[in-house]
Amino acid sequence: MDETPVRGRPRSETARRAVLDAALELCRSSGYQALTMKGIAEKAGVGRQTVYRWWPAKQDVLIDALRDLALLRAEQLNPETGDTLSDVRMLLDATFSLTTALTGNALVGLMAEAQHDPELSRRLQGTVIGPRRQALRDLLARGVAGGELSDAAMSLDLAVDFAFGTMWYRLISHHAPVDSELAGQITAALAELLRPDAARGPVPPPAD
């Protein structure tokens, strides 16, 4: 293979972990806005240049940290229990369990930052948002194909929006927890909305 020959002192895994851990912890305790490259370096007991050497900005540190976490718990995006609704519930459960207190601030802060950083937005879509969204949609589509579900009355895209929208809404607003019970409730609601015999109800008149 074209394994580039390593020259010079190899990268310190200790420093890498210390930085990622410090970033998540600081983000949890003080919030995304207060998160600072300098603060990360000091908390991690690491030189400032060591942070900048590997991550251009605090967003990159956080994304790496989140990816590390996700990899650890990447049970599976595609549970395949045979039953579509069970698969849905397991996917939602697994997803919700990633939105812990440790990661909540980071996720919301990153999403906010992405409002005016298209590149960051693209990366978040590609790593954090997109795969989960696609996985759920695929599950539902499989259910439709198998006859368990029907998208006659409601588009699958909107169904997915319902599920993850509720999650984000609660993550942002904190008016209710994002837990396993919510996963069950959402699964039940999706079952209702996509039940095979559903017919689209009468659409209310436009609001003009």
Query: Which residues contribute to the site for a second copy (CB under 8 A)?
Result: 30-34, 83, 85-86, 88-90, 93-94, 104-105, 108-109, 111-117, 121, 125, 129, 133, 153-155, 157-158, 161-162, 164-170, 172-176, 180, 183-189, 191-193, 195, 198, 200-207
Report the distance separating Cα 46 and Cα 130, nearest Å. 33
Task: Tell me the CA distances in angstroms from 201 to 28, 99, 152, 171, 193, one per residue in order.
Answer: 44, 35, 11, 31, 11
Look at residue 104 and give the partner it binds from DNA, a second copy, none, a contact being a CB closer than 5 to 8 Å depending on partner kind.
Answer: a second copy
Among positions 47-66, residues that touch DNA (CB under 7 A) are 47-50, 52-54, 57-58
What does each C-alpha distance from 157 to 133, 136, 161 come to in angstroms?
Answer: 9, 10, 6
Residue 198 contact, options a second copy, DNA, none, Cβ 5-8 Å cut-off depending on partner type: a second copy
| Cβ-based burial of 83 (10 A; exposed 0-12, middle 13-18, buried ≥19) | middle
Q: How far is the CB of 12 from DNA (least distance, A)?
A: 3
Q: In terms of C-beta density within 10 A (0-12 exposed, 13-18 middle, 19 or more buried), how is residue 144 classed?
A: middle
For DNA, the closer of residues 46 and 186 by Cβ is 46
Query: Footprint of DNA on this chain (CB under 7 A)?
Result: 5-12, 15-16, 18, 36-39, 45-50, 52-54, 57-58
